[in-house]
Amino acid sequence: MKAKFAAILIVGALIAGCTAVGDISGPGLEPIPGSITYSGQPRTKLTKSPIGSAFPHTFYDNRGREVEETYIIRPDRSLMIARRVYRPFFDWGDDR
C-alpha cells in the first residue's frame, strides 16, 4: 500500500512539473541600457514570429561588458527578457 501511494505521489509531481514549464506570463528580468525593451516595448509588433518563440540579442552595457539576452514573444506580442548572460571580460595586462 505504501509503495502505491509513493508511486502516485511521484507520478503526480512529475505531471505537475511538466505542466508548469511553459509559463511565459511572468515578469521576466528588468531591462538594462542596451536591452531591446529598455525604453519600453518596440513599436513594431512581431506578427510573423510564433508566440513562445525565443531569440537572442547581444550588446555591450555601459561598463563595457558583453551581454547576451534571450527574449520570448508573449501572447500579446510583447517581449519578455527570459535570460541574461554577462560574457567574461579578460584583462591580459602586466599584473598577471
Q: What is the pLDDT of residues 31-83, one digit of tens each?
A: 999 999 998 998 887 888 899 999 999 999 988 899 999 999 999 999 999 99
Q: Quick one: CA torsion of 23, 71, 41, 58, rounded to 10 degrees?
A: 160
Is residue 27 within 8 Å of 37, Cβ to Cβ? no
| Model confidence at 20: pLDDT above 50 | no
Could you tell me whether strands 66-73 and 54-60 are parallel, antiparallel, or unpaired per DSSP bridges? antiparallel
Beta bridge partners of 23: none
3, containing H or E segment:
helix 2-19
